[in-house]
Structure 1
C-alpha cells in the first residue's frame, strides 16, 4: 500500500479557473478521513476509500452552488493526480504534490 497519508497541495483545472486546495488524508486500512480546504472554505471528506495507491472520496460544496464532487486520485511518491467530477458539469483534472 502506498503512503497516502499527509497533506496534499492540489490544483483542479475547472471552468472557473485553477482551484487550489489542500487535501488532508489520514488512512485507516481501506478507508480514510480528512478535509478539503481552499478559497471556497473547508469541508470534510465523505466516503474516503483507499485501494492500494488510489484514493476515492466525495466533497460537499456550496459555492458556486450546492453539489457533491466525486474525486479520485492516485498517489505516486510525493505526487498526486486524478479527477474531480462535478455531475452534469463534467470531470476536471486535478494534480498536486505532498505539502
Structure 2
C-alpha cells in the first residue's frame, strides 16, 4: 500500500481539535516523514507500515511538550486511528491525503 504524500490531519484532544500536516516519502525504500503544526516542524520516528496499519512516533513542544505515538489505518486517501501521549487518554485522529496536481501538458 502506498502512503506517500501530504496528509491533512485533525487530532481531537481534550483541549480541542489540533490541525497538523504530515508529509510521508520513501527514500531508498525506507519511509520517512515530517509533521508540521503549531508553528513547529518535527521529524517522524519509527515509521512502520504493516498492511493498511501505519504507526509512527513524534515529539512536540507546542502546545505542550509531549511524546506522541500514532496508530492509524489507511484506506485509500483517508486515515483514521488514535494518538497517545504517555498515560493520557488516546485522541482520535482523522486525515485526508491531498490530491496530487495533474501534470500540465504543454
Please give the TM-score of this superposition, normalised by the length of structure 2: 0.83
- Counterpart check, 1:68 vs 2:67: yes
By how many angstroms is 1:80 displaced? 0.8
Partner of 1:4: 3
By how many angstroms is 1:40 displaced? 4.3
Instruction: Name the CA distance, whole Å, in 1 between partners of 2:65 and 2:3.
Output: 28
By how many angstroms is 1:27 displaced? 3.7
Matched residue count: 97
Asked if structure 1 preserves the Cα contact closer than 8 Å seen for 2:38 and 2:62, the reply is no
Higher relative CO (Cα under 8 Å, sequence separation at least 6) belongs to: 1
Q: Tell me the secondary structure at the aligned position of residue 90 of structure 1.
A: coil
Partner of 2:102: none
Instruction: Name the CA distance, whole Å, in 1 between partners of 2:39 and 2:93.
Output: 16
Q: Tell me the secondary structure at the aligned position of residue 48 of structure 1.
A: strand
- Deviation track 1:32-72 (CA, whole Å, cap 9, x = no partner) reads 21011112411000111111111111000112332210101
Instruction: Name the CA distance, whole Å, in 2 between partners of 1:78 and 1:67.
Output: 28
In the TM superposition, structure 1's runs of 4+ consecutive aligned residues that sit over 4 Å from their partners are none
Question: Which of these two proteins has the greater Rg computed from alpha carbons?
Answer: 2
Structure 1, unpaired ranges of 5+: none
